[in-house]
Chain A
Amino acid sequence: AQSVTQLDSQVPVFEEAPVELRCNYSSSVSVYLFWYVQYPNQGLQLLLKYLSGSTLVKGINGFEAEFNKSQTSFHLRKPSVHISDTAEYFCAVSPEGYKLSFGAGTTVTVRA
């Protein structure tokens, strides 16, 4: 079985400041890893994914994440946030390669 823990439920951050959202997973097998963003009253949009290869993954909107197998982590970072980055962010794993198991989400609020 696999589970995803997002260590911060809420992250307030000032505009143009960096942000890091933490995600740890537990799995007995290799997994695919994902970060999704959900804006209010919308579905989920893929930010980035790790399938194999380089442990540093770059995604859309200036986000990047680093896969750390020894620490079973997949933390998401952005060096400078904008007001438009205010949203809920979900980390997800997929050992099987077709269905996703999501964390509980981290709400990011960007303030001017």
Chain B
Amino acid sequence: DTGVSQDPRHKITKRGQNVTFRCDPISEHNRLYWYRQTLGQGPEFLTYFQNEAQLEKSRLLSDRFSAERPKGSFSTLEIQRTEQGDSAMYLCASSFKGDLNYGYTFGSGTRLTVV
């Protein structure tokens, strides 16, 4: 297992277009998290799944954002009608159970640039 994988690593899109990112967690991890990191800031929590259930969504996750985790494996994050303010690094992380004592592994992120 090579850790948490995110695809693509970079995405440039025009304002108004839809984009979709993928995250493949560590196979035995049942929790998956999405964070957003803007330039010069720390990551901010967006949402998380336990298996296939989306258990919490941040107020940062507007109705243009949707995340799924079918079958409790990989997850996708879609942004519809992208805006320049969506430009950021989108980080995925996974963990075994919800207890941070078990560790929390981040992927390398997808950097989105909206032009």
* Chain B contacts with A in 43-60, Cβ cutoff 8 A: 43-45, 48, 56
Residue A92, interface by CB 8 Å = yes
A49, closest chain B residue (CB):
B100
Task: Identify whether the interface residues of A are mostly helix, strand, loop, or mixed.
Answer: strand
Size category, B interface: 20 to 34
Chain A: residues with Cβ within 8 Å of the partner, total of 24
Chain B neighbourhood of A4, CB < 8 A: 42
A97→B98 contact, CB < 8 A: yes
A102, closest chain B residue (CB):
B42
Question: Which of A38-46, A61-69, A77-85 interfaces with chain B?
Answer: A38-46
Residue B22, interface by CB 8 Å = no
Within the assembled complex, what's the spacing in Å between the Cα atoms of A49 and B111? 27
| Most-contacted residue by chain B among A43, A94, A105 (CB, 10 A) | A43
Chain B neighbourhood of A104, CB < 8 A: 40-42
B97, closest chain A residue (CB):
A98
B48→A41 contact, CB < 8 A: no
Chain B neighbourhood of A32, CB < 8 A: 100
Chain A neighbourhood of B48, CB < 8 A: 98-99
Within the assembled complex, what's the spacing in Å between the Cα atoms of A94 and B40? 21
Chain B neighbourhood of A44, CB < 8 A: 43, 91, 93, 106
- Chain A residues near B (Cβ < 8 Å): 4, 32, 34, 36, 41-46, 49, 51, 90, 92, 94, 97-105
